């Protein structure tokens, strides 16, 4: 009898926890996709269309790296049909998937070729904290060609979750991949002939963009946007900016621009925003955000 009581109490606790969580497929009649942050949410909505319910785990204007999941969100992850995330960006999401949705998690980084995490000999202990075991750069979404590959892979995963709408998922994935291919071509041609190819950024988020379009990235901060850069790192960034005659130091919308502004003043440059698109751009989507980045880069680099 006591054992039955224990099992009843445990089961009731699970029901109550789940009741506080996100939407379920049973409630909507559609698969529920939890997307870790903006670019993945945008892609899930494009590929999933009206056949899925997409819920974003990171609110607009919130720095994704800082995300702490509420108990309700964790319960939502446990019930989701699919959780789309990038391992290494948000430790809270990584943990929730590992504990509650290991068989339903889709690590987008597994779908595309990755580049190594940037190594910085000038990084201090604080800069490396939280990313010391990360061997690859997680910012895969800043390369439209990789996003196109990811769109195709996501269409396949959604078809596995919901075979009844397989054709629709794959058709939308194909269309989205084509749109991203057009964006990739636009960026490649727009950055082909530039007076300068060095970009100095607030943190080292643009490795995939630089790799794709043959630019050289110099990050003031490391891969973690919250970590304070060491004096040695600042000095090195200033040295390179002067040597390469950099005219613009790039800031971000979700990160304080103070350090970048000080560096810009020191090297005689101006500042401009280069958006890592970890949150929706104001009044736009992924493609418009990347197009705005292209405009900013062309101006800063003196592209023809």
- Map out the domains of the chain with their CATH numbers: 2-108+137-186 (3.40.50.1980), 191-301 (3.40.50.1980)
User: HEC states along the chain?
Assistant: CHHHHHHHHHHHHHHHHHHCCCCCHHHHCCCEEEECCHHHHHHHHHHHHHHCEEEECCCCCCCHHHCCCCHHHHHHHHHCCEEEECCCCCHHHHHHHHHHCCCCEEEHHHHCCCCECCCCCCCCHHHHCCCCCCCECCCHHHCHHHHHHHHHHHHHHHHHHCHHHHHHHHHHHHHHHHHHHHHHHHHHHHCCCECCCEEEEEECCCHHHHHHHCCEEEEEECCCCCCCCCHHHHHHHHHHHHHCCCCEEEECCCCCCHHHHHHHHHHCCEEEECCCCCCCCCCCCHHHHHHHHHHHHHHHHCEC
Task: State pLDDT tens for residues 127-178.
Answer: 444 444 678 999 999 999 999 999 999 999 999 999 999 999 999 999 999 9
Binned at pLDDT 50, 70 and 90, residue 223 comes out as: confident
Q: Is the pLDDT of residue 192 over 80?
A: yes
CB 218 within 8 A of CB 241: yes
Q: At what angle do helices 166-190 and 38-48 cross, to 10 degrees?
A: 130
Q: What is the mean pLDDT of residues 238-252?
A: 97
Q: How much is the pLDDT for 26?
A: 62
CB 212 within 8 A of CB 166: no
Q: At what angle do helices 286-301 and 166-190 cross, to 10 degrees?
A: 10
CA 150 remoteness from chain centre? 12
Half-sphere exposure of 108 toward its Cβ, with a 13 Å CA cutoff?
Answer: 31
Q: Is the pLDDT of residue 13 over 60?
A: no
Q: What is the mean pLDDT of residues 172-185?
A: 98
Query: What is the pTM for the complete model shown?
Result: 0.88
Q: How much is the pLDDT for 226?
A: 74
Q: How much is the pLDDT for 10?
A: 32
CB 146 within 8 A of CB 112: yes
Q: What is the mean pLDDT of residues 12-41?
A: 70
Distance CA 209, CA 217 (A): 9
Q: Is the pLDDT of residue 297 over 70?
A: yes
Q: Is the pLDDT of residue 1 over 80?
A: no
The whole-chain average pLDDT of the chain stands at 89
Rg of the chain, C-alpha, whole Å: 21
Residue 11, number of CB atoms within 10 A of its CB? 10
Distance CA 272, CA 250 (A): 5
The residue among 277 and 229 whose pLDDT is bigger is 277
Q: Is the pLDDT of residue 6 over 50?
A: no
What percent of the chain has a predicted confidence (pLDDT) above 90? 78
Residue 174, token pair as written in the block: 């194909």
| Contacts of 264 by beta carbon, 8 Å cutoff, 6+ apart | 248, 249, 270, 271
Task: State pLDDT tens for residues 90-122.
Answer: 999 999 999 999 999 999 999 999 999 986 654
Task: State pLDDT tens for residues 38-74.
Answer: 999 999 999 999 999 999 999 999 989 889 999 999 9
């Amino acid at each position: 009898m006591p054992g039955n009581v224990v099992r009843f109490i445990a089961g009731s606790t699970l029901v109550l926890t789940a009741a506080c969580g996100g939407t379920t497929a049973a409630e909507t009649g559609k698969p529920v996709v939890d997307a870790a942050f903006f670019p993945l949410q945008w892609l899930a909505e494009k590929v999933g269309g009206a056949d899925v319910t997409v819920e974003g785990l990171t609110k607009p204007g919130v720095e994704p790296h800082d995300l702490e999941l509420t108990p309700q969100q964790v319960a939502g992850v446990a019930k989701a049909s699919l959780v789309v995330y990038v391992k290494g960006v948000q430790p809270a999401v990584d943990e929730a998937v590992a504990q509650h949705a290991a068989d339903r998690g889709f690590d987008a980084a597994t779908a595309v070729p990755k580049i190594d995490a940037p190594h910085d000999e000038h990084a201090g202990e604080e800069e490396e904290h939280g990313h010391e075991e990360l061997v690859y750069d997680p910012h895969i979404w800043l390369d439209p060609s990789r996003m196109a590959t990811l769109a195709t892979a996501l269409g396949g995963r959604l078809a596995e979750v919901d075979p009844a709408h397989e054709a629709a998922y794959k058709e939308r994935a194909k269309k989205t991949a084509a749109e991203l291919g057009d964006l990739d071509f636009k960026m490649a041609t727009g950055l082909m002939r530039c007076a300068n190819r060095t970009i100095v950024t607030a943190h080292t988020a643009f490795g995939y963009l630089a790799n794709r379009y043959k630019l050289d990235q110099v990050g003031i901060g490391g891969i973690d946007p919250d970590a304070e850069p060491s004096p040695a790192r600042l000095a090195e960034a200033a040295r390179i900016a002067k040597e390469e005659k950099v005219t613009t130091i790039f800031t971000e919308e979700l990160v304080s621009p103070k350090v970048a502004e000080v560096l810009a003043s020191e090297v005689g440059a101006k500042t401009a925003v280069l958006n890592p698109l970890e949150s929706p751009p104001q009044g736009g989507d992924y493609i418009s955000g990347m197009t705005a980045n292209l405009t900013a880069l062309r101006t800063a680099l003196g592209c023809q």
